[in-house]
Amino acid sequence: MLGSGVATAETASRVGDRMATPAVRLIGVRKTYGDVVALQHLDLDVREGEFFTLLGPSGSGKTTTLRLIAGFERPDTGAVELEGADVTGAPPYERSVNTVFQDYALFPHMSVGENVGYGLRVAGLPRAERARRVAEALAMVRLPGIGDRRPVQLSGGQRQRVALARALVNRPRVLLLDEPLGALDLKLRQEMQLELKRLQSELGITFIYVTHDQDEALGMSDRIGVFSEGRLEQVGAPGDVYERPATAFVAGFVGTSNLLQRDGATITVRPEKIRLLDDGEPVPAGWTEEPGSVREVVYLGSVTRFIVDLRDGGALTVVRQNLETSERDGAERRGRPVRLAWRPESAAAVEPDASEEDHQ
């Protein structure tokens, strides 16, 4: 009985080790292009089976990170691991990852089925097996029966689904997506966001997704890594990154936020967390308050945005839902004294941007 217990403990330990091994790990990665530092020193773990988004503005390092994982680029220093194996020097075809690009990269002279099955043909799979896997992949992205069409006969959303099917047909352990919805209109983009999340959830494949769209990142991701100037500023669940930004950059880039200097510290509070009160209206007990006057009013349909100049310096943006108010009601507040109030837990202290610290 004792021996059985030891074996069980050893087995559990091995299973725990496998579960703890990240799908992707980057260790001390630095990448430069001439005098341009694309990544300064990147440490990042992406968990098995999660939807992880690399979020940041153009030139922040997110696409370089994706290309390093794919094997299209090699780091100047540091290591890239896939499921615990060092693949830093391995070419793309030796890595169990596939990439979906914004421009789809479909072969126009091939049919949809030939496009999806191209990698299988290169790998030497028999024709019957290729046909079965292609049909399975097209059904997976909800495009059954279109294998004989050409890409030019498809809509943008359909071509993007074909590109997904081509990436998934090889059954990669990690799927890399480089701004795959950037060429789509807003409505189709929103539909594809739901489709991608559904696919990832059903398949259990690790998705690493690059975007500069904050709403896209917040709505689709299990975790988000926010990049700025080659640095990873913060990693966390969408709610953590939005509600508790680590730096001034994250607060300003992920959604809309206010930055306020008080008592030598920088705090951030989201516009929707602030209550706009008429001057003299009581402030809830325990809440933080700031008196000021309304400088600008912007009517946005479902909400109205107020810019308030504060008596003690600085300005805050406040957003109010137009539940029982009209455009005229908001406009009448312009120039009027008001009091702003928010719960203490709605404000967060943030660190200065790393780039600002470098110049100090």
CB of 292 closer than 8 Å to CB of 336: no
Query: Does a structural domain hold residue 251?
Result: no
Instruction: Give the domain CATH number at 265.
Output: 2.40.50.100
Query: Does a structural domain hold residue 176?
Result: yes
In sequence order, the 6+-apart residues with CB closer than 8 A to the CB of 116 are: 134, 137, 138, 147, 162, 165, 166, 169
Comparing 11-25, 199-213, 330-344, the range with the smallest average pLDDT is 11-25
Q: Are residues 170 and 219 in the same domain?
A: yes
Q: Are residues 159 and 36 in the same domain?
A: yes
The first and second tokens of residue 355, run together, are 């780039």
Q: Are residues 235 and 350 in the same domain?
A: no
Q: For the residues 273-295, what does the mean pLDDT come to?
A: 93
Q: Are residues 286 and 221 in the same domain?
A: no
The domain boundary residue, chosen from 190, 218, 243:
243
At 165, which amino acid appears? Answer: A
The count of domains in the chain is: 2
Q: Are residues 213 and 317 in the same domain?
A: no
pLDDT band at 19 (very low <50, low <70, confident <90, very high): low
Kindly tell me the number of DSSP H helices and DSSP E strands found in the chain.
12, 18
CA distances from 48 to 26, 88, 129, 200, 237 (A): 14, 19, 28, 12, 15
Residue 20 above 50 pLDDT? yes
156 SS3 class:
helix
Query: Does a structural domain hold residue 15?
Result: no
Q: Are residues 230 and 263 in the same domain?
A: no
Closest CA to 228 of 74, 93, 357: 357
Residue 356 above 50 pLDDT? no
Q: Are residues 202 and 265 in the same domain?
A: no
Q: For the residues 287-302, what does the mean pLDDT come to?
A: 93
The first and second tokens of residue 197, run together, are 């999340």
187: number of Cβ within 10 Å: 9
Query: Does a structural domain hold residue 248?
Result: no
CA distances from 9 to 1, 14, 18, 95 (A): 13, 9, 14, 32
How far is 42 from 21, CA to CA, in rounded Å?
Answer: 18
Residue 325 above 90 pLDDT? no
In sequence order, the 6+-apart residues with CB closer than 8 A to the CB of 67 are: 73
Q: Are residues 229 and 349 in the same domain?
A: no
Q: What's this model's pTM, rounded to 2 decimal places?
A: 0.85
Dump pLDDT digits (tens) for 157-197.
Answer: 888 889 989 999 988 999 999 998 887 888 888 888 888 89
263: number of Cβ within 10 Å: 5
How far is 276 from 310, CA to CA, in rounded Å?
Answer: 12
At 100, which amino acid appears? Answer: V
If 0-12 CB within 10 Å is exposed, 13-18 middle and 19+ buried, where does residue 359 land? Answer: exposed
Domain encompassing residue 314? 256-359
What pLDDT was estimated at residue 330? 73
Instruction: Give the domain CATH number at 133.
Output: 3.40.50.300
Q: Are residues 300 and 188 in the same domain?
A: no
